[in-house]
Structure 1
């Protein structure tokens, strides 16, 4: 028997509403909250929350001086098409130079790294 159940993954960021909107465009789902905290409930049932952190310093992937600490893996059916779409939403490429690899690394608008992974 488990001791606990995961409630949400929470990302600190300077603008919770904007970052929740970014991930809602990618994952779908609904957002609810205010300027300090926004929940994104995905169609698959997971919750990602975004918490206002006025002094947020994004990680400097892959630098050990400001490590990534965690990242999200997002499965997509077509890496090239998904890349086009997330870049128009404000993602920044971090490691996309190996076109034959089945994953690519980006930063969201607040600087958190995430991967698109071929499913």
Structure 2
């Protein structure tokens, strides 16, 4: 049995609505959200979301000094149980300031950020 299911792939960007519009044109789907966070509901797949990132520096591929920028949102039925298992698997907490939120932020063993989200 899997620990989680993929809910959304999230990309940082300077203009979430514009980038969501581009991908909606490419993939189809419905755009929802505000100027800070926009979600593209893609038919038959997980959501593609876009969050405003002040000072965004676009990635260059391939370039070790400008890596690609994204994080995964993983929906779990129980945040505490999922956190325990994720930490045992090698995740590292990145943001422990507010445990009352509906999500928690971690780094995978290679350092890529991801969130466990209450679902």
Once the two structures are TM-superposed, the CA of residue 46 in structure 1 deviates from its matched residue by: 1.9
Paired position in structure 1 for 2:27 = 27
Q: TM-score, normalised by structure 1?
A: 0.55
Once the two structures are TM-superposed, the CA of residue 44 in structure 1 deviates from its matched residue by: 1.7
| Two-structure CA RMSD over aligned residues (Å) | 1.4
Q: How does 1:48-59 map to 2 (within 5 A)?
A: 48-59=48-59
Distance 2:64 2:55 in 1: 20
Q: Is structure 2 residue 46 aligned with structure 1 residue 46?
A: yes
Distance 2:9 2:67 in 1: 18
| SS of structure 2 residue aligned to 1:65 | coil
Unaligned runs of 5+ in 2: 71-119
Paired position in structure 2 for 1:8 = 8
Once the two structures are TM-superposed, the CA of residue 69 in structure 1 deviates from its matched residue by: 5.4
Unaligned runs of 5+ in 1: 71-119
Paired position in structure 2 for 1:37 = 37
> Is the Cα contact below 8 Å between 2:15 and 2:52 reproduced in 1?
yes
| SS of structure 2 residue aligned to 1:58 | coil
> Is the Cα contact below 8 Å between 2:12 and 2:51 reproduced in 1?
yes
Q: TM-score, normalised by structure 2?
A: 0.55
Q: Indicate the structure with greater strand content.
A: 2
Distance 1:28 1:10 in 2: 17
Distance 2:22 2:44 in 1: 17
